[in-house]
Each structure stands twice: as structure tokens, then as C-alpha cells.
Structure 1
Amino acid sequence: MGLDAKWAELPSVQRRFLLFTAAVAIIFLLLCLRLWYLQIINYEEFQDRSTRNRTRMLSLEAPRGPVFDRNGHLLVGNRPSFQISVMRQDVENKDALLLRLSKLLEIDLEVLEKRWQDGRRYPIYRPVPLAHDVSRELMERVQEHSVELPGVLTEVRPVRDYLEKGSAAHLVGYLGEITDSELRSEEFEGYQAGDFVGKIALERSYETYLKGIKGKRLVEVDVKGKLLRQLQAERALPGNKVYLTLDRELQRAADEAFGDQSGAAVAIDVKSGDILAMVSRPTFDPALFARGIASDEWTALLNDKRHPLQNKVVAGQYPPGSTFKMVVALAAMREGIAGSQRTINCDGDFELGGMRFRCWKKAGHGPTDLKKALRESCDVWFYQVGLELGIDKLSAAAKEFGLGAPVGYPLPGEKRGIMPSREWKRARYNLPWYAGETVNASIGQGFVLSTPLQLAVMTAALANGGKVLKPQLIDRIEDWQGNLLMETGIDIVRQISYSASAWREIRRGMVAVVNELRGTGQVAKLEQVVVAGKTGTSQVVRRKSDEEEEEDDNGDVPYRFRPHALFVSYAPAEDPQIAVAVVVEHGQHGGSAAGPIAKTIMERYFADPQTETEEE
């Protein structure tokens, strides 16, 4: 009898029992085979997977390098900040989680949803920040509800602390989250989405020095992503220490002296080119960017007509006005056109080919020599001398002093200004040069444009006998252990050659501006130090008729049409140490608007060091 026949003779209940037993045996065999595969064949792989299911490798942010002034005062540091983040893979119900966090953190749900979406750029193992720089109270509130918040982490991270607020904002710059385009560039190789990097100025240009080396920590978490314990850690290394040439006290004095006015001021060491102070107003608080600037705050900065984001020290271009007259006088003396004894009569007007060019003093200055022309800022004297000199020789002399070209500011953004010539006008406008344009250029008007830093470099060269110095901003860089990595020195771009008598005549005239009766810059006079200076007023629009100017004197001219006020100076006159250039936008008169700011800077510089110690 065959097997089929025997199977058929078995009762149906017995047949079902045998089938069930066989099925169980097969299943058991398959389970045994799977267990053998997991525990013997692929033990290491699955052990690793199991470990990863309960551990997380978190990165530790490295503190950026601190920034100090020349005397070791901290300007930019770091402070601990509480951040609420989330591990996305540990979240089962995103909507419910974000709604709960919105109520706990008092943040709009839409904001949290956008940050979640932005976090899709991040590596899966990296926490997505949902709230930056939260208060301790909110952080503790989140920790108290951690059971309800699977995957949510409370982290302490270093954030930039700008101790001087907006005072040195244009010099220091700010941080921002790295963009997709930056991640694709070679400059940011090795960075990850979510990293914060320097965006402008020092923070950007010295990113490689300032950034630290990230650390790591391996932590154990439960099934809801809650941190249980730290398994191991590799500490982060801070960035390098950057020491600037800036003097903190001088910077503060310049910043406070500006008040609510717009413009720029810069002070440099006439022997080294070190930038001692540089202020651009209005300014902004870099801390806005450190915590993530809100869209309305960013829009307000962009739309502000006074341009708070622009570093006007190097990017603001203004007609230098009468601060340019020393260059004209020197060039004229070198060419034998004018010396200290040449006298030109000023009756308030200068006629050329039917055109009328007026002096700022309507009644005129009468017979005027070089010293008087500088002291009282007589326009007619310079009209005549500049016309005889010619635009090309005038342009060449100005370029020797650093006008019309970048002077070498070590950070991006420097403008070159304009020092016109016949060739320049032909190339730019395809037009010939006219004599009347030379007349305007002779008092720093017309096409002539300069930055405040260029004027400071020019003034330093006037003070030190013709050494044009490259401005220095970085004194030195040390690693976090104090080892020297970089140090700057004096860089003389060129030596301008003029006779000793020519330099002396210019100094005499500039000293008279500040220290003699009828000097236009007497407001900048100091009791303890002899200051040499020059006022300047640069027109924003064309000069008007006598009747319209009468209205201007009554203060009826709109702010945007008022002339800029300028003042350049150095001191002590006999042994110069510091040069200062100030531009007050629409300040109208150099002596009354820009002069007091320069005086404040000089007073702070020459103050008794003991006074500074007592104030601290």
C-alpha cells in the first residue's frame, strides 16, 4: 500500500494534527536558522546596529577665538547660551511635538515649523536647533516636560559676545548660519549645515584663525531619545586669539563723540600706520546676528537711508573739500608756482571765462598768503594756484598721498575714491577736461572723492614728512596656548619727496588753523598739546544764488542737501604721534561739526594714563 493510500486512510483529525506539527517544526527550524545567522554569522554588524539604536554621537561646538585690543582688553568673546534642539529620527509625531514646544517656549508655531524644515539640510545625526539663546527659565521648563518631548535636547553652546556692541561692529563683523552656496565652495570645505561662520569684516576674513576645532561626545539615550548618560567625550579646542591695533578707550571716545550724527572717524598712528580707532555711524549691534536676526530687524537695517551696514570709514566716498588744500599747496610749491610769500587778493569772487567761482567768505579775505589761505581756508587763493598748476600735476600729487586708489585696508570693502585727470575723464565720459573743473578740484570739489581712511593716511603723511603708510589693523595672532602665529610690522608704501621748507609751511598753516585768531578750526584747540588741523566743507549739491544761501544760513535747507563737514588733524605738531580724520554727513561746517569730534579723540589719546586706570 502506497503512502498516499495510507494517508487517505488516516482519520481527518489525525491528518490535521500531523500537518500542524510539521508546520510548527518548520517554523521552529527557520527561527533557529535566523537566530544562528544573527548571533553567529552577523553578530558584529547587528551588535553595532543595536548599539546605535541607543547611542548618539553629538558634536561639541568649539568656542571661536577671542578678539582683543592693542592693550589686551577683550572686545569680542563668547558666552554660554541655552539652545533647544531636536533629533528628528526620535520624533514620532512632529506636529504634536512642535505644538507643545510652541506653548512651552512662547514661540510662534510657524517659526518652529520653518526651523524644522530648514533642518532637513542637516545630517541626520545632527540635532536641529529650534530655539536659540533661550532664557534659563524656558530651558528648565522644557526639561521639566522632557517625558512629553521625545527627541528634544537642551544644549549649552558658546555664542559670540560683542562687548563693545555697535562701537566696532563694522570692523569686527558678525556671524551667520552657513548657506548652501558657501557649503559648496572650497573656502568652507569641512563645514556642515548648521555651522555659524563669519559673514563680513574680521569675522569673515579671519575665519580660518577664529574658528576652533569641534569636539565630540557619545551619549546613551532611551527609546524616546532622552539623554541617559555620557559614554565618552573629545573636548573642543578654541580658536586663536586675535589682537587688534585698536585702542578700546579711544574707540569708545570716538563713538560717544558722534552721538546721533552720521558719518565716520578714524585715528591712526603716524609712525606705524596702526588704526587706533575707527567709527562708522549709524551702526548696528552684531549680537542681533549671533542669535539669528529676525526678518523685520534685517529689513529695517537694509532700508535705513543712513546705511548702518556700510563701513563708511573705507566705503564712504565724499568730496574732501578744503582738507585737500594742503596737497594743492605742496604741489604748487614743488612746481615753483607758489611759495610762502606769494600773495593773492581775494575779494570773494574768482572769474574764469565768464564763470563765477565764489569764496566761502562773501566779503573776501583781502591780500592772502599761504599761511592765511590755510588758516582761513580762502578758496580764491587755491582757485588761482590750482588753475596754474593744472589738473594732471594736481592729480599726480594727490595720488602720491594715497588719494584715488585703495590704501591697503586689510579687510574687504575698501573703495578707491576718485582723483580725476584728463585721461580719467576721457576714459570715463569720452569728454575733454575743462579749466573750470580744475578750479573745482583745487578745493576738493567736482569729481574728487575720498574715503575717511584715505584722508587719515594723507594726514599722517603730512605729519611724518611724507611717509605713506599702509594702515594696519591686526597687531598679532596667537593660538589658544599663547604661541605666536602671526605678527604685523610697519609697511611704508612710498616716501613723498618735498623740501623741508615746504613741509614746514604746511605745518605752520595747519597749526594756525587750530591755534590762531580767525583760524577755522579753533574749536579743536587743546591746552596741553599743539594740534595741527584743517577744516573742510564739501558741497552735496551745486552752489546756489546769494538769495538761496541766505535761506541756508537760516537753517531752511533740507538735511539731505546740507554739505558734509570734515576735519583732519595731527598732534603734537612738532613731534606727531596721531592723525585723525572725521566726516560728519550733512554736518554743514567742518569746524563746528567735525572739529569737536576730532578734539574729543585727541583729548582721550593724550589723557593722563592714570586717569584711564582710575576710570576702569
Structure 2
Amino acid sequence: MRRPTINMQVRMTRRGLVLMGAQLAVVAGLGARMRQLQVQEADRYRMLAEENRMNIRLLAPARGLILDRNGIALAENRQNYRVVIIREQAGDVAAVLDKLARLIPLSDDRREKVLKEVARRAAFVPVTVTERLSWEEIARVAGNAPALPGVLPEVGLTRHYPQQDVGAHVVGYVGPVSERDLEHAEDRDPLLQIPDFQIGKTGIEVREEQALRGSAGASRIEVNALGRVMRELDRREGTPGRDLHLTLDSELQAYALERMAGESAATVVMDVRTGGILASASAPGFDPNAFVFGINYDNWNTLLNDPFRPLSNKAVSGAYPPGSTYKMAVALAALEAGVLDSKRTVWCPGYYQLGNRRFHCWKRGGHGHVNLQVGLEQSCDVYYYDTAREVGVERISAMANRLGVGIPHELPLPAITAGLTPTGAWKQAKYGDAWRIGDTLNAGIGQGYVLASPLQLAVMTARIATGRAVVPTLIRAVDGRPVDPGEAPDLGLGSTALSFVRDGMYQVVNNRRGTAYKARIADPENEMAGKTGTSQVRNITVEERARGVVRNEDLPWNRRDHGLFVCYAPYNNPRYAVATVVEHGGGGSSAAAPVARDIMMRALYGPVPPLAAYPPGERDEIERRRAEEPQPQGPERPEGGSDRA
């Protein structure tokens, strides 16, 4: 009876050994795997665990400042007090917003937008309720925090333009990143994904976006399984954007806008030695601060429908027939080609006959015998019809390009016009039509197809004044490091030709018969040379000429001539060039020359030019105005002078 028992024990022992072996194998496998996970791959899984526990949030850097040549801020960053709300903490968001509205301004429209945004985002994500609060308003919110669950007062930075409309067209403005911005962005900077992040929209703000933006910082935060922020572990601030020092003089810029008040006009002031733009003013201006957080519909419509086009940067984007200011290019082209000299005269009976068509001079009775000096001084159209026909449009346009007209100048600004210096090939390509002699005659007085911007006219004037290919610049320094514009190369024009043209421009302003004599500078040390221009915007029929051309003041505003004036001073040692265009202002001598003269005097003398610098007939009026107004103001336009050319 014992043997079966022994066999059973043996069988049980074998079965136990097999089971034990299997168990040991499993334990050994688990141990090996645990060793692999905890020892061999410990660093990898530790990193994964940390990444599950931590998030990296981008920190927007401070945007670079934009300053004028004297360090005055044109674009700066200001503290922006704002209020945000977190849905999961607020509970009844609508009720909390109603309470908040009793403490700070909160429109019904904004309230609805906040409710939609809160519903769209995760419960723990903060949503901006309102921004740009005063210290008193943010303090009221903070003081009532116990009654406002989920409401948090915050402070950040936002763009501010302290000079408002001064420099608005040059500096531009910023605004929140839009979907369109993201679609067209050439860079994939993660900063663009930050809610309400501001980027340049126009002007230097957009053209120098990369330099001004800076680079992002980072905040390492601990979050829970739901993604809610628990605490900040460390923080690395971003690199601020670069500060840009412009060539602009904000005081001169402000005066230029003031002097053009009530007009649709533009003025450019250049330093002829460096090419630095001291003023690039387009009137009327606008306040860029209105665009920083998004302009409302009514204000946008008002700006858009204003016939004076306040949003347009006329100084660089406006393309106008240059009128008689173009005659210097025609004269230089003819002098360089050898078809014109100072002794050549043309008879002006008041018109130029071409076949059965008459091309009229602005002076109906004619100028009589006219040479180069008188042709510029009195702006005789017939002289330049004849000269243009002799020299040809190809040479005229080539000379204009050499002087800076008809080419887009490289500045950190959008929508810079190239203007137009037409040729036969251009007309054939554009209209499929041959160039005609009549086209050349029109081009000879800056009409027809010819177009130029105030910037181009200022460059042309600076090049004539110096004989060098002066290049316009706007950036003077970056982060305090000067930008060297380099020395402008010689234009390669003959000194005799330049001397003839400069002398004619001097006579325009300083000879009693000159078209801008009433707008001269009387100080012998700072005498000015210049040229008036008037460009027609309508056709004058034969019937109207027969009964008498309708005066500008009797026409609707948008059918009046444009008034232009270009000048440089001092004549013997040029420092500044000025170009002014007054849209539909009438004659260049009456509308544009006084404005440009006053701006030139401000550049030469500062806020209070000496009375002796004004023509004698203006001094009593200037003195009276100064006595009445402690702050210096631009003088009234002088009376008299030709209303044309």
C-alpha cells in the first residue's frame, strides 16, 4: 500500500518543479524587463514623464522702438492693463460680465463677442474681456475680485504712437495677427500664433517687421492632466526688437503737416548732402493708434470716403503730372545732347503750332523772345514745346531717370510709386499705338503721360543742386549704430549745363518777373532756387479757350489744377531740397510755393525764422501774428504772383 503513495509524491514533486520553473521564468522575464525600463531606458522615460508634466509657453518680446533723428519716440511700447476671464472659475460667465460692466466700460457688442469666445475655447483658457484700461479702472476690478470669480486683471505691452498723425504715413501702425497674415507669412515664427500678438501692417512697421519684432522668450510651466497651469518652473525673457532711429525730424514733420492743414497735399524735405529725409508729410494725416486694436466700422468708413484720402501716403505713392517742374530735366537733356545752349531763343506768341493743332502757353499773350534763363524764370511752355521736339522724348526720359524720376526709390515703405517717364516703346507696349510728336510736346512741359511723386521731385532737386546721384534714406541708425549712406557718386553732367539750370531756378525765385518771386527768402545768406509747376487734370476745349478759360476757383475742387513747387537752399551752399504738391490747389506759385518756402525756412532757421528773412511785404503780418500767438505758426500765404506754371 505504500508504493502508490511514494509514486504520488514523486509525481507531485515533478509537477511542482515544472510549475516553479515556469514561475521563475516569468519572474526572471519581468525582472529583466523592469531592469530595462528602470535602468537601461530610465533617462528616456524620465524625459517623457517630464514632458507630460511640463509645457513650454512662448513669451512675446518687447517690440523695438521707432525714434526720430533727435531720439523723440514715434512708436513706443506702453503698459496695457487688461482684464481676462476663465470660464471654469467664473461659473455663470454672463452674470460675471454684467457685474464687471458696472465697474468698467463694456459695450453690449463686446460682451457678446466675449461670450462667443469663451464658449469656443477650453474652460481653463483665459479670454480677453477688454484692454487699454486706466490705472483707476484696473484698480476697481482688482478691489472687487472676491465678487468677480474667474476675472483676472493683467498687464502687458502694446504699441503706442505718441505723435499721433505726425509721421503716421512713414511709421505706419501694428495690429493683431489675422488669418490672412498667417496665410501670407513668409516666416513661420511661432510668435504669430500667440493670441492678439501685434505685427506691422503698414509703413516702416511692416517693412522692418523682422528687425522690430525680436525673438520669443519661454516660460516652463507645470500642468495637470487636464492641461491646467499649476505653477511656473522657470522663465527666459525674449530678445527685444531693434530700435530704429529715422532720419525724420519730428518737429519739422509736424510743422509741414500744420502748414498744409486744410489741403490734400504732400511735402518731402531732403538733406542734399546725405539723402536723409527730414520730412515726408502727407496731409491730411490720421491717428495710427486707432488701428492698433482694430478700427471700428464708422471711423474706417470716414477715412475711406474722405476725398482728401488721409490714408494715402501721397509723398511716396502719389503720382502726379509734374508740370513745369519737369522742365529742368528737359533743359538738361537738351544741353547734354548739344541741341540747346544759353543763346538759343524761341518766339512765344502764346501758342505752338503743330499742323492744324495749337499747343498753348499758360500766358495767353505770349512771352515774346525767350532764352533758357527766361524760359525757366517765367516758365514759358512754348520754349519747352520747341526744346522737347528738338531733343526727343527718349533723351528726356533718360535724363529724368538719371535725376531720379521714373524709378522706384528703395525705402522701407510700401507702395512706393515708380512714376512714369514715357518712351515710344512704352506707349506701343501699353496701348498698341505709335508715339506722336504731340506726345513729345506734352512731355516737354511735364504733362501727358509723365508722372512723378513728391519724393522723386525732391530727389531730382537734390541731384540738380549737388550734381551727385543723391539717394534718399530713412534709417539713420539701428540700435544706436549709425547706418552709413556712403558718398553719392557724381551724376556725370556737365558743370556748364548744371550751372545754366541752377541759374534759371534762382531767377524763378529771386527775379521780380520770376513765377515764385513772392515766395522768396530775403536773407542773402539763405537765398533759395526753385521751380513752380501747375499740372492740368482736365482738358480745355477750343470753345472754352475762345470764351475764356474758367478760373480754378470757379471750378469744382476735383477739377482744379495741381500746384507744385520744388526748391533748394541756400543757393550757394545747398543743404536742403523741398518738393511740395497741393492737389487741386490751383497755380504752383500761389498754392505750393508759399508752403514749400515756409517749410524750407523752418528747416534753415528753426521754429522762429528772423523777420528779415521774409519779403518786406509780409513782415508786418508775421510780426502781428507772432504777437498774438506765443507758439510760432506758419505765416499766411503771400498774395500776388502768377497763378500758373
Same fold by TM-score, threshold 0.5 exceeded?
Answer: yes
Aligned to 1:599: 597
Instruction: State the AA in 1 paired with 2:81.
Output: F
Structure 1 position 299 matched with structure 2 position 301: yes
Q: What does residue 514 of structure 1 align with?
A: 509
Q: Aligned with 1:267: secondary structure? A: strand
Distance 1:461 1:438 in 2: 24
What is the alpha-carbon distance in structure 1 between the residues aligned to residue 114 and residue 470 of structure 2? 48
**Counterparts of residues 490-529 of structure 1 (less than 5 Å):** 490=486, 492=488, 495-528=490-523, 529=526
Deviations 1:511-530 (CA, angstroms, capped at 9, x unpaired): 00111111111233113311
**Deviations 1:541-575 (Å, cap 9, x if unpaired)?**
11345756846327210000001000001111122
Query: Residues 602 and 608 of structure 2 are in contact (CA less than 8 Å); yes or no, is this contact kept in structure 1?
Result: no
Which of the residues 533, 536, 541 maps onto 1:539?
A: 536
What secondary structure sits across from 1:163 in the alignment? coil
| Matched residue, 1:437 | 439
- Counterpart for residue 8 of structure 1: none
- 2:456 corresponds to which letter in structure 1? Q
List aligned pairs for 1:100-119, cutoff 5 A. Answer: 100-117=99-116
The match for 2:398 is: 396
TM-score by length of 2: 0.80
| Counterpart code for 1:155 | E
2:65, 2:77 within 8 Å by CA — same for their partners in 1?
A: yes
Q: Aligned residue for 2:371? A: 369
For 1:170, the aligned partner's letter is: H
Answering whether residue 209 of structure 2 is matched by residue 207 of structure 1, we say yes
1:416 equivalenced with 2:418 (yes/no): yes
Secondary structure class of the residue paired with 2:187: helix
CA contact (8 A) 1:58 1:126 kept: no
Aligned residue pair count? 561
Counterpart amino acid of residue 477 in structure 2: R
Deviates more, 1:410-419 or 1:377-386: 410-419
Determine helix, strand or coil for the equivalent of 1:576: coil
Q: Deviations over 1:326-347 (max 9, x none)?
A: 1111111122222111111111
- 2:540 partner SS: coil
- Which of 448, 451, 457 aligns to 1:449? It is 451
Selected match of 2:335 from 333, 342, 348: 333
| Letter aligned with residue 504 of structure 1 | S
Contact 1:249/1:604 (CA < 8 Å) preserved in 2?
no
Residue 516 and residue 71 in structure 1: after superposition, are their counterparts in 2 closer, same or farther (change >3 A)? same
CA shift at 1:351, angstroms? Answer: 0.8
Residues 341, 363 of structure 1: alpha-carbon distance in 2 compared, 3 angstrom cutoff: same
Mapped contact 1:133–1:291 kept (Cα < 8 A)? no
State the 1:407 CA deviation.
2.2
SS in 1 for 2:550: helix
SS of aligned partner of 1:176: strand
Aligned equivalent of 1:182:
181
Structure 2 segments unaligned to the other structure (5+ residues) = 1-45, 224-228, 611-629, 633-645
Quick one: which amino acid aligns to residue 93 of structure 1? D
Secondary structure in 2 aligned to 1:160?
A: strand
Supply the AA of the counterpart residue of 1:518: R
Could you say which residue in structure 1 is the equivalent of 2:13? none
Asked if 2 retains the 8 angstrom alpha-carbon contact of 1:122 and 1:194, the reply is no
State the 1:120 CA deviation.
Answer: 7.8
Give deviations 1:83-132, integer Å, cap 9, x for gaps: 12223443332332333334433322222222454578889876322212
d(CA) in 2 for partners of 1:150 and 1:506?
77
Q: 1:268 to 1:101 in 2, by over 3 A?
A: same
- Residues 504 and 120 from structure 1, CA distance in 2 versus in 1: closer, same or farther, beyond 3 angstroms? farther
* Residues 259 and 296 of structure 1, relative CA distance in 2, 3 Å threshold: same
Distance 1:90 1:453 in 2: 57
Q: Is the 8 A contact 1:317 1:417 kept in 2?
A: yes
C-alpha deviations, 1:206-242, integer Å up to 9, x for none?
Answer: 1222224555678999xxxxx9999876555533211
Residue 232 and residue 147 in structure 1: after superposition, are their counterparts in 2 closer, same or farther (change >3 A)? farther
Structure 2 partner of 1:468: 469
Q: Which moved more, 1:284-293 or 1:344-353?
A: 284-293
Q: What residue identity is the alignment partner of 1:601?
A: I
| Superposition pairs of residues 574-589 of structure 1, within 5 angstroms | 574-589=572-587
| Distance in 1 of aligned mates of 2:273 and 2:118 | 52
CA-CA distance at 1:504 after TM superposition: 0.6
C-alpha root-mean-square deviation of aligned residues, in Å? 3.4
Higher mean displacement: 190-199 or 321-330: 190-199
Secondary structure of the residue that 1:399 maps to in structure 2? Answer: helix
- SS of the counterpart of 1:489? coil
Q: Would you say the 8 A contact 2:319–2:419 is kept in 1?
A: yes
Alignment equivalent of 1:487, drawn from 483, 488, 496: 483
**Cα separation, 2, equivalents of 1:385 and 1:517:** 25
Match of 1:553 in 2: 551
- The residue type equivalent to 1:187 in the other structure is D
Q: Give the Cα–Cα distance (whole angstroms) in 2 for the partners of residues 72 and 351 of structure 1.
A: 58
Partner Cα distance (2:97, 2:51) in 1 = 29
CA–CA distance in 1 between the matches of 2:318 and 2:151? 47
Instruction: Select which of 260, 285, 298 maps to 2:287.
Output: 285
Q: Aligned equivalents of 1:123 and 1:437: distance in 2?
A: 67
Deviations 1:454-486 (A, max 9, x none): 111111110111x222211101111xxx6x4x7
Q: Secondary structure at the match of 2:256?
A: helix
1:468 corresponds to which letter in structure 2? A
CA distance in 2 between counterparts of 1:584 and 1:451 reads: 12
Separation in 1, partners of 2:150, 2:420: 59
Q: Does structure 1 residue 530 correspond to structure 2 residue 527?
A: yes
Separation in 2 of the partners of 1:299 and 1:89?
A: 39
Cα displacement (A) at 1:318:
0.2
Q: Confirm or deny: 8 A CA contact 1:99 1:109 kept in the other structure.
A: no
Q: Is the 8 A contact 1:253 1:600 kept in 2?
A: no
- Select between 410-419 and 446-455 the one with higher mean Cα deviation: 410-419
Q: Which moved more, 1:377-386 or 1:571-580?
A: 571-580
Q: 1:209 to 1:50 in 2, by over 3 A?
A: closer
Letter in 1 for 2:550: D
1:569 aligns with 2:544: no
Amino acid in the other structure paired with 1:190? P
Cα distance, 1:441–1:97 mapped onto 2, change above 3 Å = same
Report deviation, 1:276. Answer: 1.1
Query: Would the aligned equivalents of 1:410 and 1:471 in 2 still touch at CA under 8 Å?
Result: no
Q: CA deviation at 1:301?
A: 1.9
The 10-residue stretch of structure 1 (508-517 or 589-598) with the greater mean CA deviation from structure 2? 589-598
Taking the aligned partners of 1:182 and 1:520, their CA distance within structure 2 comes to 50
Partner of 2:346: 344
- Tell whether 2:129 aligns with 1:130: yes
Alpha carbons 2:552, 2:561 under 8 Å: kept: no
Summarize the Cα distance change of 1:126–1:265 in structure 2 as closer, same or farther, 3 Å threshold: farther
1:287 Cα shift?
Answer: 0.9
> Conserved in 2, the CA contact under 8 Å of 1:213 and 1:239?
yes
The equivalent of 1:141 in structure 2 is 140
Residue 241 of structure 1 is aligned with which of 240, 243, 256?
243
| SS of residue paired to 1:476 | strand
What residue is the counterpart of 1:14 in the other structure? none
Change (3 A) 1:598 1:123: farther
For residues 337-381 of structure 1, what are the alpha-carbon distances to aligned partners after superposition, in whole Å with 9 as ceiling and x for unaligned? 221111111111111011111111111111111111101111010
- 1:346 corresponds to which letter in structure 2? C
Tell me which amino acid in the other structure corresponds to 2:427: K
Change (3 A) 1:121 1:375: farther
Structure 1 position 296, deviation (Å): 1.8
